[in-house]
Chains A and B, each alone.
Chain A
């Protein structure tokens, strides 16, 4: 049988199970329905009423709330796929997406795993093995170790100190099985090295069941850039352009964009070529992302490969016009990369649009991005031309501590970066979330920073160096207090008027949980000093 390119009749699968939750489960369900596939959701007890469960054609319970008893259980996922007669499983990102165990179990159960082959996952999931592979393929790797650290045994601390000295400070302790910034610590001097390595190892053991850590040079003022890769079962690999994900906290991305600003065609081709070299070296099939550092001198250094769909895949879709989840499904069904994909890859060094994504997470940017669980009491998504919102929550959703705090991804596309930024400012201003603190204030601030707007500040340490939330919180608090007092006074006046009208017999109650807003922004400085007077009085009282 010959598979002709771009003559995809029918559908890749009749029924596909999504082994994930939240926004990515919804995004994959949408792709299934686009292609005429039925989508099977899985859910833990915490997610029984979640949007992804309702959006699917069928939903299977896989266990209690903790991920280890539900979304991380290979046997429960395979059982759900068998019972629902799903032909394929898409793992999304996180959870089991890069675990060879799920891919192996799929193979054993004659279910198609939408992702790279188990051997590729095993090779790439071990960051040290990936570093060795990249180095062997002639791709420059960040200076550091190719073998794990020994964190026990006689004299391990001295040995560790000597190894670190050989690489040079500052450096990073990284988990061999890690990802998403977990099990990672920056170390600036020898005094904190042993504790950081031990703590990273503990975190890695808890998060990935793999306590192995290694050391890598911390490249200062580096940017994080990554190449979107697709590979089919017929030996063809393609690079669909790059993304810049330099704005991070705790090594977790806050904002991503495509293409990476400031690269010329020559640099783009070099970067895409390095990504393709890694993809070929590991025999990549399906979708993956090769991550690199871009140092201030313009050199690229290989970091790792994420052998799955990335959280930030949407910005590449908006620029390339390729639906990456559709392509994943066609590839998994055995089809070769289409001419459309190959044409997009050929044009990737000269992109004609710019896309930006903001991650809205339940985290408090005023308190070092600490998790801020709670119930979402208000949720209004922005919309409009060239705006895409991938959200996994709605009003009433309880954002618990069991899962990743990502609530939604706001994406925009424009003809160039300036147009995209301007559109994003409007999009962010129209986002309304109540009930939980989110990362939105950070994004409001970031979009106003000159060093971000002109891309000169893009670096992985930008947030650590520049984010000083205290004055912003203080100014916002004064504006919040003014608005609250005005609302209280108005409500009180309404009650008095009502009481008078009713002869004092009854007091009409103000409708609860109602909201008001007219979109105008307020500045306390223009108010004629209501707040200054208030502060003066407070200060006088303390004296």
Chain B
């Protein structure tokens, strides 16, 4: 490796929005580096990606950062894996902890993109979950009244 300092980095953001962007750190000014509130987060076990929480004007992101060449290799591997299991099945998970307030669909039902599937009540509000794509409801993993944590599996859409 000749020049560590000049290489580009892939930044994958989650939180206020999900996006990936390539950045040349050499072009980032000191003010741009220190303006946002940046906190180191623990790396996932075995991962060489650095993780930060970054807050900009109150918007909160979690940033996962790795050298671009490494990210590109991983992308290729992931694409190959996707091609091997070609399918449009998606497992919908709870985006917030709460209580399942309503279930509008049942197994076998055909839904269109944007149809209401179920609602989670959190902080006394009903938060509706809608279908990300058209499909058939293959599995409903929760019932009305169930308490769910973040990322609990709710429903499988085929």
How far, in Å, is B103 (CB) from chain A's closest CB? Answer: 14
Option from B55, B65, B121 in Cβ contact (under 8 Å) with A206: B121
Option from A434, A488, A530 in Cβ contact (under 8 Å) with B39: A434
Q: Do B57 and A476 touch across chains, with their CB atoms under 8 A apart?
A: yes
Q: Do B25 and A405 touch across chains, with their CB atoms under 8 A apart?
A: no
Number of residues of chain B lying within 8 A (CB) of chain A: 59
Q: Do B56 and A480 touch across chains, with their CB atoms under 8 A apart?
A: yes
Q: Do A484 and B65 touch across chains, with their CB atoms under 8 A apart?
A: yes
Asked whether A510 and B58 contact (CB < 8 A) given A478-B21, A481-B13, A485-B23, the answer is no
A34 to B109, CA, bound (A): 62
A519 to B34, CA, bound (A): 7
Among the stretches B85-93, B123-131, B132-140, the one at the interface with A is B123-131
Among the stretches A110-118, A127-135, A220-228, A440-448, the one at the interface with B is A440-448
Q: Do B37 and A511 touch across chains, with their CB atoms under 8 A apart?
A: no
How far, in Å, is A413 (CB) from chain B's closest CB? Answer: 23
List chain B residues, Cβ under 8 A from A523.
Answer: 32
List chain B residues, Cβ under 8 A from A441.
Answer: 16, 57-59
Which A residue sits closest to B34, measured CB to CB? A518
Chain B residues 101-129 with CB under 8 Å of chain A are: 101, 121-127
Q: Do A513 and B57 touch across chains, with their CB atoms under 8 A apart?
A: no
Does B53 count as interface, using CB distance less than 8 angstroms?
yes
Asked whether A489 and B39 contact (CB < 8 A) given A477-B13, A482-B32, the answer is no
Does B146 count as interface, using CB distance less than 8 angstroms?
no
Among the stretches A47-55, A334-342, A372-380, the one at the interface with B is A372-380
Does A534 count as interface, using CB distance less than 8 angstroms?
yes
Chain B residues 32-47 with CB under 8 Å of chain A are: 32-42
A392 to B102, CA, bound (A): 32
A378 to B39, CA, bound (A): 9
A433 to B13, CA, bound (A): 18
Q: Do B56 and A479 touch across chains, with their CB atoms under 8 A apart?
A: yes
Among the stretches A230-238, A284-292, A491-499, the one at the interface with B is A491-499
Q: Do A440 and B58 touch across chains, with their CB atoms under 8 A apart?
A: yes
A486 to B24, CA, bound (A): 8
Q: Do A520 and B35 touch across chains, with their CB atoms under 8 A apart?
A: yes
Which A residue sits closest to B122, measured CB to CB? A401
Q: Do A483 and B40 touch across chains, with their CB atoms under 8 A apart?
A: no
Does B11 count as interface, using CB distance less than 8 angstroms?
yes
List chain A residues, Cβ under 8 A from B27.
Answer: 527-530, 533
Q: Do B127 and A485 touch across chains, with their CB atoms under 8 A apart?
A: no
Chain A residues 165-215 with CB under 8 Å of chain B are: 182, 199, 203, 206-207
Q: Do A371 and B59 touch across chains, with their CB atoms under 8 A apart?
A: no
Q: Do B5 and A483 touch across chains, with their CB atoms under 8 A apart?
A: no
Asked whether A485 and B28 contact (CB < 8 A) given A437-B15, A473-B59, A474-B17, the answer is yes
Asked whether A512 and B59 contact (CB < 8 A) given A366-B16, A404-B123, the answer is no
Does B2 count as interface, using CB distance less than 8 angstroms?
no
A482 to B127, CA, bound (A): 33
Number of residues of chain A lying within 8 A (CB) of chain B: 82
Does A452 count as interface, using CB distance less than 8 angstroms?
no
List chain A residues, Cβ under 8 A from B13.
Answer: 477, 480-481, 484
Which A residue sits closest to B8, measured CB to CB? A534
Which B residue sits closest to A368, measured CB to CB? B127
List chain B residues, Cβ under 8 A from A492.
Answer: 4, 50
A480 to B28, CA, bound (A): 11
Q: Do B125 and A371 touch across chains, with their CB atoms under 8 A apart?
A: yes
A520 to B35, CA, bound (A): 5
List chain A residues, Cβ under 8 A from B39.
Answer: 377-378, 434, 513-515
How far, in Å, is A47 (CB) from chain B's closest CB? Answer: 15
List chain A residues, Cβ under 8 A from B123.
Answer: 371, 373, 401, 403-405
How far, in Å, is B136 (CB) from chain A's closest CB? Answer: 25
Asked whether A488 and B122 contact (CB < 8 A) given A366-B16, A482-B33, A517-B37, the answer is no
List chain A residues, Cβ under 8 A from B150.
Answer: 373
Interface string of A18-39 (1 = CB under 8 A from B): 0000000000000000000000
Q: Do A401 and B38 touch across chains, with their CB atoms under 8 A apart?
A: no
Does A472 count as interface, using CB distance less than 8 angstroms?
yes
| Most chain B beta-carbon contacts within 10 A, residue among A206, A436, A488 | A488
Q: Which residues of B contact A (CB under 8 A)?
A: 4-5, 8-9, 11, 13, 15-17, 19-29, 31-42, 50, 52-61, 63, 65-66, 95-98, 101, 121-127, 150
User: 18 A-B contacts, Cβ less than 8 Å apart?
Assistant: A203-B126, A250-B125, A366-B16, A434-B37, A434-B60, A443-B58, A474-B17, A477-B17, A477-B21, A477-B56, A479-B32, A479-B36, A479-B56, A480-B54, A484-B63, A486-B25, A518-B35, A519-B35
A520-B34, A530-B28, A534-B8 given; name 7 further pairs at CB < 8 Å: A373-B96, A373-B150, A434-B37, A437-B15, A476-B59, A480-B13, A482-B33
**7 nearest interchain CB pairs?**
A440-B58, A530-B27, A484-B63, A489-B25, A522-B32, A441-B58, A522-B35
